[in-house]
Amino acid sequence: MKSLVWEAPRKMALRETPKPSVAPDEVLIRVAYGGICGSELSGYLGHNSLRVPPLVMGHEFSGEIVEMGEQATAANPALSLGAAVTVNPLFCTDNSVWDRRGLNQLCPSRQLLGAHRPGAYAEFVAVPAQTVTRLPAGMSLRTGSLTEPTACGVRIGELAGDVAGHSCLIIGAGPIGLLALQALQLKGAKEIFIADLDAERLAMGAALGGTPLPPRAVDVVQTVKEATDGGVAVAIDAVGAAVTRRQCISATQPTGTVIFSGLHEEVSEVPAADIIRREIVVRGSFAYSPANFAEAIRVLERGEMRLDPWIVEAPLADGGAWFDRLIDAPGDVSKVLLRP
Q: Does some domain include residue 290?
A: no
**Taking Cα atoms as reference points, which of 132, 88, 143 lies closest to residue 111?**
88
Q: Does some domain include residue 88?
A: yes
Together in a domain, 117 and 204: no
- Tens-digit pLDDT profile for residues 247-300: 999 999 999 999 999 988 888 999 999 999 999 999 999 999 999 999 999 999
Q: Residue 167: which CATH number?
A: 3.40.50.720
Together in a domain, 20 and 100: yes
Together in a domain, 78 and 187: no
pLDDT band at 229 (very low <50, low <70, confident <90, very high): confident
**Taking Cα atoms as reference points, which of 115, 104, 215, 114 lies closest to residue 170?**
215
Amino acid 95: pLDDT = 81
Residue 68 belongs to what domain range? Answer: 2-146+307-339
Q: Does some domain include residue 174?
A: yes
**How many residues are recorded in the chain?**
340
pTM above 0.85, yes or no: yes
Q: Does some domain include residue 46?
A: yes
Together in a domain, 102 and 175: no
Number of structural domains, the chain? 2
Q: Report CA Rg, the chain.
A: 20
Together in a domain, 136 and 73: yes
How many CB atoms are closer than 10 A to CB 122?
Answer: 28
Together in a domain, 136 and 163: no
**Taking Cα atoms as reference points, which of 147, 204, 197 lies closest to residue 333?**
204
Instruction: Determine the 3-state secondary structure of 156 from DSSP.
Output: helix
Together in a domain, 14 and 140: yes
Together in a domain, 278 and 330: no
- The C-alpha atoms of residue 220 and residue 224 are separated, in whole angstroms, by 6
Together in a domain, 108 and 34: yes
Together in a domain, 262 and 163: yes
